[in-house]
Amino acid sequence: MIPILFWVAAFFSEVIGTVAGFGSSTFLLPIALFWMDFPTALILVAIFHLSGSGWRVLLFHRRIDFAIILRFGIPSIIFTVVGAAIVNYTPQILLKMILGLFLVFYVLLSWKNHFFLQPTMRNNLLGGSLSGFFAGLIGTGGALRGAFLASMRLEKSAYIATAALISLAVDLTRIPIYLASGFLTPDLFYAVPFLVIIALLGSFTGKKIVRYIPQKMFRRIVLVAIGVIGLKFVYEGILFLWR
């Protein structure tokens, strides 16, 4: 039986994920690992993340930037397959540490608005490929996706909507691979509808909060979230290397 604390954490993770435009799986996955093994946590959090992304698309769909979707989303889907296919064969903690270092560096560079990426084909292909790969491999590609999309200075609703649709496509790609690998056992089927409902409640709450956040403050919130996640990954990597 999944403990009540997991469901509480799921709700607040989705609120944070909606406000920041990413992050529900990044916050929830390490919490889920307190009660379940990595494959089980990965599939449950992926289903929850899929639900949250779907609700965000419905709530913010008018602001989707379809040009970025095509250039960023397609490589994300392709490299998600690659990452998900090798999830059982890779030392994930070291990859998370590398990702964490990149994210911390990005935040330090971006805090004073010195870092800006044009939404060019090359930048979209690079960001989509890297974030898709990490999403499939470690279930936390949203922070990297957020870093690339935030650097393009999208308006906050456009940022959330565009990131959500890309995330939805990535989740629809990786979840069947996890299911085929047997990550979701029959005794946990009951959890799926609860994940969908809690994701809706968290997304709706997050949308209400976003409405009252100025654009500049919104960008700072995203950067802080990215930085915290990056530091967490670096810390976990250092602990692993020192063991």
pLDDT at site 197: 95
pLDDT at site 242: 83
How far, CA to CA in Å, does 94 sit from each of 11, 97, 124, 221, 226?
Answer: 29, 5, 25, 27, 18
**Dmax of the chain from CA atoms?**
50
Q: How is residue 216 written in tokens? A: 């500049």
Q: How is residue 17 written in tokens? A: 């994920």
Predicted confidence (pLDDT) per residue in 36-94, tens digit: 887 888 899 999 989 988 888 888 888 888 888 888 888 988 998 888 888 777 676 77
Residue 231 has pLDDT above 80, yes or no: yes
How far, CA to CA in Å, does 44 sit from each of 78, 107, 181, 202, 228?
Answer: 22, 29, 14, 16, 23
User: In whole angstroms, what is the distance from residue 164 CA to residue 64 CA?
Assistant: 9
Predicted confidence (pLDDT) per residue in 110-141, tens digit: 777 655 667 678 888 888 898 888 888 877 67
